[in-house]
Structure 1
Amino acid sequence: MLVNKSFLLISTNYFPEPTATGKYNGELIDWLIKKGHNCTVITTYPHYPFWKVQSPYKGRFFKKETFSSANYGKLTVYRCPCYIPSVPSGANRLLMESTFLFSSLFIIARLLFKKKLDYILAIAPPFHMALPALLYRFFKKAIVIFHIQDLQVDAAQGLGMLNNKLLFNLLYKIERMFLKKADFVSSISDGMIRKIKLKINREVILFPNWVDTNQLYYIKDKTVLKNKWGYSDNQFICLYSGGIGEKQGLDTIINAANLLKHNNKFKFIICGSGQYKSTLQQMADGYNLQNVHFLPLQDKAVFNEFLNMADLHLIIQKSQAGDLALPSKLTSILATGGITLVTANPQTSLYDLITKYDVGYICKPENPQSLVDELLNISTENIEGKKLNAISYARKHIHIDNVIAEFLLKIN
């Protein structure tokens, strides 16, 4: 068991970002300091999923934030300026990540003259966060953990975000070097681990995303919750809550809603922020859809009720996404006993999890008719058993205390 250690986390995403990698990074550091570990974070200013620096931050210069408590470890956060694109295309994201890498090196240089840190957590994406971590290790002999939330280079190629073959060859070569040189490599799903092992033959630790089941939990009475958000008890609420980017393929929801536009039972909610949201709104307007509602990200104070309000949760991915990432929204859905309908191909982590633990339903990716067929089937089924399975899975397999404690044992 690790006692009174020091950690450095390097990532473009951190608290107070409400979703995805920033959310998990913030929760990880919070957990560590509450266990008495001292933590340092090198990050930029909160921007995801809005793709602009969030108030009260300005994001123009370097900023140091310190937090301490008599009962907890100390926390120091260094926020580095970097380019934040309003339209995060492949090229724009590459520029953003390069500017952050450059500015983060100034903080690494500063830390070389301070007391040695024990563990360095380099969080990908971006995959080149391993570089400042390895540079620090070269001088200070710390242990580098390269944690992969998303196979960024594979995703950029598979989803057509970049189209330069020579550039991809270079990026894969650099990625393999980082995978080889890190002391530990970890990732969030068995499928992603299989893909990493195809790149390099080495051990990869399973470090899945987690959920705090004390904060997100099942609420039985949906009637009050539906009324709170303006829906009636007899409406079947299909909810997508998360990032709204082109890679998710959320146009499948709009096209499915169009097929059901004359069925008053089904209501579709798309909740979140992202550069593709306006495109989806234009599609819905073009079809004159009254059964699709767009909502902003919900506050943390009401998020548990919001998730419980839905009859069905939609996890939509393009076919090419496969095991390039595992949707982080799944952990919250399972904790609330939510039933999921996912678009996934066989022999992927998402497909395997849903079928093995019987916590949801599956339809074909990028196929609106398949989505509609499953919706019609699910709306008439008894899904109580799947709800219990989801809650049980969350408590046994992805509770935050169990996941992080087990990971620390593996790197000790």
Structure 2
Amino acid sequence: MRILIFGINYAPELTGIGKYTGEMAAWLASQGHDMTAVTGLPYYPEWEIHDGYKKKWWVKERIDHVNIYRCPLYVPRKVTAVKRIIHEFTFLLGMLPVWLMLLFGRKYDLVLCVSPPFHMSILPLIYAKIRGVKLVTHIQDLQVDAARDLGMIKNKRGLDLMFKVEKMIFDASSAISTISPGMQRKIMAKNISPSKIIQFPNWVDESVINPMQKIHSLRNEFGIDQDAKVILYSGNLGEKQGLEVIVDVAKSFENQKDVVFVIVGCGGGKEKLENLVKESGLSNILFFPLQPYDKLAPLLAMADLHLVLQKQSASDLVMPSKLSAILAIGGCPIVTAIPGTSLYDIVFKHRMGILIKPECADSLKEGIELALKTDLTEYSTNARRYAEQFLSKEKVLRHVEASLEELIGKSSTPAQAVHEKQPERIEKVQALSQPAFKIAEKI
């Protein structure tokens, strides 16, 4: 297949959407497919253009057998709703010359557009219509829903317009792919046929991210005692996560010298979080920068508990990609989720974590206290098993490949046969005998 990918984020970004888009393109190229990607200059999650790309405009390069066109874009130091809109709009402008060049170039079999930004698909859609090729819109976040529910955009007319543009894109797409049953339900609620939706989760390379002993973790490098109880949050420090609750809870453990909270990562909310810790005078919260991929397994292995936190209003609008690596390492996550969401259902059904109320310091405190005095071996075992069975990079990307080939009529094997064991169906989990953990009963 000849595949043209459009997406604002791409490798070498270490986390988030860019990581998955880059890995997918590289994997498909390794299978002999002709891959081209149109993307921005790398900036995430630091919100700063990476070294090697600063003061550059348009860049063409070839990495992992993928032809990459990088386009200029405005990257704000401090992210606000208005600045994010400008950021995304400038990428569309920067992408226009490359889009025009490709429009009159060779024909591709399929165009795959990664959202967010939700309006990213407008130019790819026009390309697909003019050139007569299939368009797949891949949804990592339901951006407009999240902007409304998180209160980032409050103008009703503006939101109505964005929802209309989103619906136009969905209707015009040959297929819509997304990463969780909850997002699939949300898309179907927009009057989109389920037959048009392809579901595949964000994967993990379980051969690289696997369980290891704490002695081999980053505890020594970070100066953390081997006997300490480490509660780790690693990932984007943004607005959707509601990370302020960590500071509130850490106050309750201030006198327990063997308990330490570790926050690793960067993002738009990091400065605010650091200021909260400083104002509180807490010494049991440690900050470290984002670690390179080859240190991800040792980083995760140092934790006794992993925090997977989101605001309640983000439920089922975003699926935390960090969870895949936590499960692969055999970690025990404490997850904020409400019943009926994909995140809750998956953790609940497979008994591989602790479920608590979102944005509730008391619930998080109680969950941590209970977990620290409980044998979590069963949850760790279940987590690793789930990652191997449902999140394997090779299995998921085989399913992606088969789905795309089937869409353009080149598949000899139906996609369902390649990936016939889906982790969750569209129906809600029903009649489960016991909750994932006692604290879940209080949600």
Interval containing the TM-score (normalised by the shorter chain): over 0.9
Letter in 1 for 2:317: L
Contact 1:179 1:200 in 2 (8 A): no
CA apart distance, 1:227: 3.1
Alignment of 1:125 onto 2:116: yes
Residue 152 of structure 1: CA displacement? Answer: 0.3
Q: 1:399: Cα distance to partner?
A: 0.5
Deviations 1:239-287 (A, max 9, x none): 0000001221000111100121112221101100012111111111111
- Whole-Å Cα distance in 2 between the matches of residues 200 and 273 of structure 1? 37
| 1:307 is aligned to 2:300 | yes
TM-score (norm 1): 0.95
Correspondent of 1:198 among 157, 175, 189: 189
Deviations 1:351-394 (A, max 9, x none): 11111111100111111111111111001111111111111111
| Letter paired with 1:227 | N
In the alignment, which residue of structure 1 is the partner of 2:106? 115
Tell me, yes or no, if the aligned pair for 2:69 and 2:98 is still in contact at 8 Å: yes
| 1:242 equivalent in alignment to 2:235 | yes
Deviations 1:312-343, CA, capped at 9 Å, x for gaps: 10011111111110001011111110110011
**C-alpha displacement at 1:42, in angstroms?**
0.5
Correspondence for 1:148: 139
2:47·2:76 contact (CA, 8 Å) conserved in 1?
yes
Query: How far apart are the structure 2 equivalents of 1:20 and 1:244?
Result: 12
Do the aligned residues in 1 keep the contact of 2:136 with 2:177 (CA within 8 Å)?
A: yes
For 2:61, which of 49, 60, 65 is the aligned residue?
65
Which position in structure 2 is the counterpart of 1:38? 34
- Contact 2:28-2:401 within 8 A present in 1 as well: no
**Consecutive aligned runs of 4 or more in structure 1 exceeding 6 Å deviation:** none
1:230 to 213, 217, 223: 223
Residue 26 of structure 1 aligns to a residue whose secondary structure is helix
Q: Tell me the residue number matched to 1:71.
A: none
Q: CA deviation at 1:91?
A: 1.1
Q: TM-score, normalised by structure 2?
A: 0.89
Report if the CA contact (8 A) 1:187-1:208 is conserved.
yes
Verify the 8 A CA contact 2:250 2:261 in the aligned structure 1: yes
In the alignment, what sits opposite 1:184?
175
In structure 2, the residue corresponding to 1:40 is in which secondary structure? strand
For the 8 Å contact 1:43–1:77, the answer to whether it is kept is: yes
Indicate the percent of aligned positions where both proteins have the same amino acid. 38
**What does the per-residue CA deviation read over 1:28-61, in whole Å, with 9 as the maximum and x for residues that have no partner?**
0110111111111101100011111010112541
The whole-number CA distance in structure 1 between the counterparts of 2:330 and 2:55 is 39
The 2-side partners of 1:133 and 1:11 are apart by 10
> What SS does structure 1 have at the residue aligned with 2:260?
strand
The number of residues matched between the two structures is: 402
- What is the aligned counterpart of 2:369 among 364, 376, 393? 376
How many Å separate the matches in 2 of 1:213 and 1:313? 18
2:68 is aligned, of 68, 77, 80, to 77
Distance (whole Å) between structure 2 residues aligned to residue 303 and residue 408 of structure 1: 27
For residues 224 and 110 of structure 1, the distance between their equivalents in structure 2, rounded to whole angstroms, comes to 50
Structure 2 CA distance for partners of 1:360 and 1:179, relative to 1, 3 Å = same
Find the aligned partners of 1:111 and 1:201 in 2 and give their Cα distance.
30
**What SS class does the counterpart of residue 125 from structure 2 fall into?**
helix
Q: Letter of the aligned partner of 1:191 in structure 2? A: G
Q: Equivalent residue of 2:378, what SS?
A: helix
Name the counterpart of 1:355: 348
Q: Secondary structure at the match of 1:388?
A: helix
Output the CA distance in 2 between the equivalents of 1:66 and 1:231.
41
SS at match of 1:248: coil
Checking the alignment, whether the CA contact within 8 Å between 1:59 and 1:81 is kept in structure 2 is no
Equivalence for 1:175: 166
**Aligned partners of 2:89 and 2:47: how far apart in 1?**
16
Q: What is the aligned counterpart of 1:407 among 395, 400, 412?
A: 400
Structure 2 CA distance for partners of 1:67 and 1:251, relative to 1, 3 Å: closer
Q: Output the amino acid matched with 2:79.
A: P
Using a 3 Å threshold, how does the CA distance of structure 1 residues 308 and 114 change in structure 2: closer, same or farther? same
AA matched with 2:251: N
5 Å-filtered alignment, 1:41-56, equals 41-56=37-52
Which residue number corresponds to residue 387 of structure 2?
394
Cα distance in 2 between the residues matched to 1:318 and 1:307: 23
Contact kept, 8 Å, 1:43 with 1:80, in 2: the verdict is: yes
Secondary structure class of the residue paired with 1:121: strand
The 5 A counterparts of 1:326-365 are 326-365=319-358
Runs of 5+ unmatched residues, structure 1: 69-73
